[in-house]
Structure 1
């Protein structure tokens, strides 16, 4: 290829990949929206107090670098790795390499798009910090910030490509990439302005490049420090990791690993709802259809690696990490509540919300887009049985997450069995069921599966921060506090944490009442929407029959 044409080719490929990323709601939410949203919410929760009256330094001065670094990490490592692995498994990468597009442009386009997406996340966080929270950007170190961001972005991109090419399946890549990203983010202090993790955890964090990147970024934005902001020891560690990732990627590409992936049977095989209907003469009993739908829905939920990670693995990681960083799971936080018990309860509610309110409705919406739900009208499967099976399947997965979290918390922190566990179990079942019904109501109102994901996840994440899910002991502003009590998540979280306290709490009639009220509204919305869709389908079928029965006239 002509060298003069190399630049335009790479530029067009970067633009193509960036547009593809921006059309994926999950990517935009977690790599751009997630850091910005967390920055705004943490600034509100901490009050953005002044920590240095003389220099006017506020808390956000130490929050912004960590959350901006998280955006870079997710865009250039997690999503680059998962996207490339998906393209490899589906044969897209193999087909692209057989086109006139050079391999370097193909890989370079993905890297460039990921780096730009990470820089967009950084720009948004810093801009919001400057214009709304008095964040200071010292001119002395802006060049060092730019070098650190670019060097770290390319290092994480090289590691992400190596991960995508070396691991055999997209499911494994998603689990490893997101697992490393979340764990390293917490032990590297990205979500806190202060804190003292155990010595072994701090030592482990310094071995990886994320801690070094965040440290250089934070020190460069610290007005209390002087100098250019360059810290060559930290940049050297980041560079070594980048060189290692690049070497592994080049070896994998030269060995042809991108052309011969191990088939991942869970990546693209999607059974339809009709497949869960038993093949037998006559109409099967409703309970047989119901059980079949539960089994089918669980299969769909378990096959989605991203769903499994964020609904099950992610809360388990937070239960293990957050109490460890903040003084231990046996720390008494007041009211007879231990820190480990608190996060076990809130992470169980979070996992249930992700499974029931986000993942399951998205799967239903995807089946609707493929015409599966429409085809089931011609089968013995009633719509009510289909939806009830999905709700119960989400509840079963949520209960498995609850039991896994309880076992982990009791094993790690030697927590006692709370006396109110029967009430807690009831609260959990009602909450998970209510989340599922509300999620289906959202799916019935929003027609695109990607839009359903954007609405549900974009609603859930902010509510988690103002509903005592990720934080404890913070006085919310009056407006945020009122908003949080309007939604069922805050009530589920409070009732669940009260149930694991060592001090007996009154039965949570009020909290359960709010959750059930939301579920009742969801049922009404679902019933109205499906009746409307059924009527429209009947009218369309009648119109088609009349049109087919009308004799043609000679022209």
Structure 2
């Protein structure tokens, strides 16, 4: 195995030693989808939604929410904690550089978030007959861009937060408005024009719409792709500018 692979395996084992983070990152999204699906009105077609059911809209929202959980409650907190405890500083004396740790964390988060997405899609399909994405390449493109944008934001939080606890607090504060505009409390299709416009400019609002478009068989709109790419470049650039290894 390569050094990156071994470090990723090690980081994954350490990740699973944090039961609360594991629960919210891996188990909570599918459970939340089951809770939504248990509401009878969510399983009935709604003419105001173009004949779709509310549960159909919530599958991409829950998928996007899982990215926010990984980025803001896992990646940022763990990396800030490593810096706070001097793990990254001590790694400078070993052949494994801190940048390798960053790569391992990103690889682990990507793999686990993809598994969570697959579970959410499977639960939606098997339990509530939610159709799978008709345009799979477009769905993966929207998912990858949303993941990049959220991981960049998570790294920015890790760069600015002085401690692991403060990273967790900042991530929690950011989590709620981000998932609100992704449609967790009010689906994007039910938002008024002002909220919908703001949602279009947020990383997960653009991400959810891209996933919904791909599920319906369409390619994402250029606006939404550009928004996610812009968040990735800006947040990623700021994270690189202000990140401290010790």
The TM-score normalised by the length of structure 2 is 0.88
Q: Which whole-Å CA distance do the structure 1 matches of 2:165 and 2:192 have between them?
A: 31
Q: Distance in 1 between matches of 2:231 and 2:59?
A: 24
1:429-448 correspondence to structure 2 within 5 Å: none
Of the three residues 220, 224, 229, the one matched with 1:234 is 224
Q: How far 1:205 moved relative to its partner? A: 3.1
Given the alignment of the two structures, is residue 70 of structure 1 paired with residue 65 of structure 2, yes or no?
A: yes
* Distance apart, 1:215 and its partner CA: 1.0
* Contact in 2 for aligned 1:166/1:252 (Cα 8 Å): yes
**Who is 2:119 aligned against?**
124
Structure 2 gaps, min length 5: none
Q: 3-state DSSP class of the match of 1:10?
A: helix
- Give the corresponding residue for 1:86: 81
Q: 22, 28, 48: which is aligned to 1:28?
A: 22
Say yes or no: does 1:154 pair with 2:128: no
Aligned pairs for 1:306-385 (under 5 A) are none
* Shift in Å, 1:58: 3.9
Please report how far the alpha carbon of residue 151 of structure 1 lies from its aligned counterpart in structure 2 after TM superposition.
2.0
- Find 2:237's aligned residue among 247, 264, 269: 247
1:462-541 matched pairs, under 5 angstroms: none
What CA distance in whole angstroms lies between the structure 2 residues aligned with 1:126 and 1:236? Answer: 25
8 A contact 2:132–2:215 mirrored in 1: yes
After TM superposition, give the deviation of residue 113 of structure 1 in Å.
0.9
- For residues 144 and 194 of structure 1, do their structure 2 counterparts lie closer, same or farther at Cα, with a shift above 3 Å needed? closer
Matched, 1:258 2:242: no
Distance 1:12 1:47, change over 3 A: farther
- Superposition deviation, residue 60 in structure 1: 2.2
Secondary structure of the residue that 2:95 maps to in structure 1? coil
**Cα distance change of structure 1 residues 47 and 198 upon mapping to structure 2, 3 Å threshold:** closer
The answer to whether the 8 A contact 2:72-2:168 is kept is no
Q: CA shift at 1:31, angstroms?
A: 1.4
Give the secondary-structure state (helix, strand or coil) at the position aligned to 1:132: helix
Question: 2:63·2:120 contact (CA, 8 Å) conserved in 1?
Answer: yes
- In 2, Cα distance between equivalents of 1:138 and 1:150: 15
Distance 1:52 1:185, change over 3 A: closer
Give the Cα–Cα distance (whole angstroms) in 2 for the partners of residues 194 and 252 of structure 1. 34
Decide whether aligned partners of structure 1 residues 70 and 103 sit closer, same or farther in structure 2, where only a CA change above 3 A counts.
Answer: same
The equivalent of 1:108 in structure 2 is 103
Pair 1:189-2:183 in alignment: yes
State the TM-score, normalizing by the size of structure 1: 0.41
Query: How far did 1:104 drift?
Result: 2.6
**149, 153, 169: which one pairs with 1:175?**
169
Rounded to whole Å, the distance in 1 between the matches of 2:155 and 2:214 is 29
- C-alpha RMSD over aligned residues: 2.4
**Equivalents in 1 of 2:188, 2:230: separation in Å?**
28
CA contact (8 A) 1:18 1:117 kept: no
Contact 2:77 2:167 in 1 (8 A): yes
Higher RCO (CA-CA < 8 Å; seq separation 6+): 2
- TM-aligned CA distance change 1:138 to 1:250, over 3 Å: closer
Structure of larger gyration radius:
1
* Structure 2 CA distance for partners of 1:159 and 1:193, relative to 1, 3 Å: closer
Aligned-partner Cα distance in 2 for 1:195–1:242: 25
Are 1:96 and 2:86 an aligned pair? Answer: no
1:251 Cα deviation after fit: 2.0
Match of 1:164 among 158, 161, 167: 158
Q: CA deviation at 1:197?
A: 4.6
- Structure 1 residues 104, 52: CA separation in 2 closer, same or farther (over 3 Å shift)? same
Work out the CA distance in 2 between the residues paired with 1:58 and 1:128. 16
What's the offset of the Cα at 1:52?
Answer: 7.2
